[in-house]
Amino acid sequence: MDNRWMEARNILLVRLDNLGDVLLCTPAFHAIKATQPQAKLTLLGSPIGAQVAELNPDLDDVIVYQAPWMDVWGQMPQDSRREQEMIALLREREFDGAIVFTSFRQSPLPPAYLCYLADIPLRLAMSIDGAGSLLTTRHKHIENPMLHEVRRALNLVAVEGFHTTETDLVLRVPSEATSSVTSRLLSHGLSPEKRTVVVHPGCSMPARTYPWEMFAQAADLLVGGANCQVVFTGDAREVDLVQRVRGRMAKPSLSMAGQASFSEFAALLAIADVVVTNNTGPAHMAAAVKTPVVDLFALTNPPEQWRPWNVPQKLLNKPVPCALCYSRVCPTDHGCLRGVEPEEVAAAAMELLRASDGGCADA
């Protein structure tokens, strides 16, 4: 343990991938704030991941950065001035220390080098690779794909004495966002008398996406057979997908796709009785606001590592010989998801509804 961390007052928290990845680090962020309440915590995050800072009281500031080593599709322009400008900005902010959070299979060394070049004196990360002088504390852990990402992050900060007993994901929904979303849904025909199921059919990784036409069938079953109402969600890029799903349905539904800010989206998930989605950020947002989740969890990654944290849930998939492929695009037939029948999805949602107060009455 390096005692200098207990004197640090300006700490950079680095998590440069997706929304769900940042959310799964929020218990560790809280551990730092609980141990060092006087410290200023700044998140260095990707454009999508940085949104978490809007609704996290443990974070005092945020810096948005699209790192080239996180460019999974290889679409970023080759321009090192971007990195040189970020190094200059970090140096100007005079951070006392940087904690680099990564997932299993990710290397912390590119962001550690960024922080090294910015003259941040303390640099902590998990790494089984030789880090040389890039890290002042290298947590040489045993790589374990069965360890949940929340535990992984908590274990990292515990190395330097940061602890908490409060391990829920942190996402604080503003009351005005809840009021705004509720009012809009009611004006669109939402019934206060029926249970609400939010369906989020999109995902940034095609290999993790349940077939859209099967989402439509599952939603029809929930509306027709369980007397529920379905609200679809998605960002602006997913509006067409949502319209395609709704167009395939025989029953009515509502859509908030492309119509909600980040705080309003969180409020909608909190209002819902159940969320049905892929293994993607909204599954973790639902967990953070304590809404039960039906997670269509493609076996690209270990469920033990990425399942929704501390919330009632149903993980749905089918065993396949190509499990744990870590693919972004499925090279076969999506068997781990396509094998899940819409009836199973609807049944899982109804089971979670029955387990909650009041249940979901038959039509």
Render pLDDT for 303-328 as a digit per residue (tens, 0 to 9): 999 999 999 999 999 999 999 998 99
12 DSSP 8-state letter:
E
CA angle 279, 61, 278 (to 5 degrees): 5
The whole-number pLDDT of residue 75 equals 84
Indicate the angle between helix axes 262-271 and 281-288, nearest 10 degrees.
60
Ordered by where they begin, the domains of the chain are: 3-158 (3.40.50.2000), 176-355 (3.40.50.2000)
Confidence check: pLDDT of 116 > 80: yes
Give the residue carrying structure tokens 């974070």.
Answer: 59
Confidence check: pLDDT of 225 > 80: no
Name the pLDDT band for 175 (thresholds 50, 70, 90).
very high
What is the model's pTM? Answer: 0.94
280 contacts 269 by C-beta, under 8 angstroms: no
What distance in Å separates the CA atoms of residue 274 and residue 339, rounded to the nearest whole number?
22
Confidence check: pLDDT of 180 > 70: yes
Confidence check: pLDDT of 112 > 50: yes
Confidence check: pLDDT of 82 > 90: yes
The whole-number pLDDT of residue 358 equals 53
Indicate the angle between helix axes 109-117 and 81-93, nearest 10 degrees.
60
143 contacts 1 by C-beta, under 8 angstroms: no
Q: What percent of the chain has pLDDT over 90?
A: 85
Closest among 52, 61, 48 to 24, alpha carbons compared: 52
Confidence check: pLDDT of 247 > 80: yes
Chain-wide mean pLDDT for the chain?
93
Closest among 132, 183, 185, 135 to 156, alpha carbons compared: 135
Render pLDDT for 252-304 as a digit per residue (tens, 0 to 9): 999 999 999 999 999 999 999 999 999 999 999 999 999 999 999 999 999 99
CA 82 to chain centre: 26
Name the pLDDT band for 359 (thresholds 50, 70, 90).
very low
The whole-number pLDDT of residue 357 equals 63
CA distances from 70 to 5, 106, 146, 238, 302 (A): 28, 10, 23, 22, 20
Which residues make Cβ contacts (< 8 Å) with residue 212, sequence separation at least 6? 201, 241, 244, 245, 248
Name the pLDDT band for 361 (thresholds 50, 70, 90).
very low
Give the residue carrying structure tokens 């799964």.
Answer: 24
State mean pLDDT over 244-257: 96
